[in-house]
Structure 1
Amino acid sequence: MAEIGFYHLTRTGAHEALPVLLGRTLDSGKRAVIRCATPADTRALDDALWKVSDPVWLPHAATGGKYPERQPIWITAGEDVPNSATFLFLLGATEPPQADPFERVFDLFDGRDEAAVASARLRWTALKAQGHTLAYWRQEAKGWTRAR
């Protein structure tokens, strides 16, 4: 069973919060796939990650990019995982993910959007019923706080 973390964004958007999480992913020697809600979101995130200055560089590609199997970070609006990633990041999710075969799933949702919060609660309930280990992280002024 995958460990699934819900990341409640309260002070920044996903494009600002995601680079730190991705940097830690790469530091741990893992690969990531990021599933966006739409192809337009995929393109916007691809552009945003090229502008990240901390960590210094996040090597990645998006659907349509070259050498997908070599990419430590793959961005898609689909179900493809050509880089054999073990970490799944969800942006704009509306349905519970198919968590297997991933080790970890990061579900980032906008806490300022009531519909996104309600959708995250539904995903939490469904995934808990499936027996996954769940964690809730709330974005604070500096960093994240894990609720028990």
Structure 2
Amino acid sequence: MTELLFYHLQRRAPESVLPALLEKSLERGWRAVVQASSDERVDALDAHLWTYRDESFLPHGTDRDGLAAEHPVVLTVRDHNPNGAAVRFLIDRAPVPADAASYARIVVMFDGEDDEALAGARLLWREKKAEGFDVTYWQCDDRGRWQKRG
């Protein structure tokens, strides 16, 4: 059964959270695909994942570079799965893909300080729970650690 994890971001952009979650996915042997809202956003994430830490980088590419099937992490604006990923990250209100049940895990990141994004996440939670997905809600505590809330 596909897990849907809802990550409630407060005072944090996806760029500050995404690298660690992608690293954990790769440690588990999972390939990942990250779906953003625009090509410009994909380009910004692409640059960020090469430079977010001085001592290392996160191996990745975009679906436009012609090598998507070879990358452990692919950035895209489309709802396809070009690298056979087990986990999919949705940012910037990217929609859950039609083939959602084919993933082990889908991570929905939303801005908890944006009323429209929060309402959309609540609606999506109810819909996906009713469809039988295993849904959980995660929120960051005061010390910056993610806590499962539901």
TM category, shorter: over 0.9
**For residues 80-131 of structure 1, what are the alpha-carbon distances to aligned partners after superposition, in whole Å with 9 as ceiling and x for unaligned?**
2111001000002254443120000000001111111111111111101101
Q: What do you get for the CA RMSD once the two structures are aligned?
A: 1.5
The answer to whether the aligner puts 1:67 opposite 2:73 as a matched pair is no
Q: How many residues align?
A: 148
Give, in whole Å, the separation in 2 of the partners of 1:147 and 1:94: 23
Give % identity: 34
Residues 71 and 62 of structure 1: is their aligned pair in 2 closer, same or farther, counting only changes over 3 Å? same
Q: Does 1:100 align with 2:110?
A: no
Instruction: Letter of the 2:21 partner, please give it.
Output: L
Q: Residue in 1 aligned with 2:56?
A: 56
Secondary structure of the residue that 2:101 maps to in structure 1? Answer: coil
Query: 2:6: which partner in 1?
Result: 6
- Counterpart-to-counterpart distance in 2, 1:23 and 1:96: 22
Shift of the 72–25 alpha-carbon distance from structure 1 to 2, 3 Å rule, reads same
Asked if 1:132 corresponds to 2:139, the answer is: no
The alignment's TM-score, normalised by the length of structure 1, stands at 0.93
Counterpart for residue 149 of structure 2: 147
* TM-score between the two structures when normalised by the length of structure 2: 0.92
* Structure 1 pair 97–122 and aligned structure 2 pair: CA distance change class (3 A): farther
- SS of 2:42's equivalent in the other structure is helix
Structure 1 stretches of 4+ moved >4 Å: none
Matches within 5 A, 1:83-98: 83-93=83-93, 95-98=95-98
How far apart are the structure 1 equivalents of 2:6 and 2:88?
A: 12
Range 100-109 or range 88-97, more displaced: 88-97
Contact 1:19 1:54 in 2 (8 A): no
Show structure 2 runs of 5+ residues with no match: none
Q: For the Cα contact (< 8 Å) 2:32–2:74, is it kept in 1?
A: yes
2:126 maps to amino acid = T
- Please give the alpha-carbon distance, in whole angstroms, between the structure 2 residues aligned to 1:121 and 1:59: 33
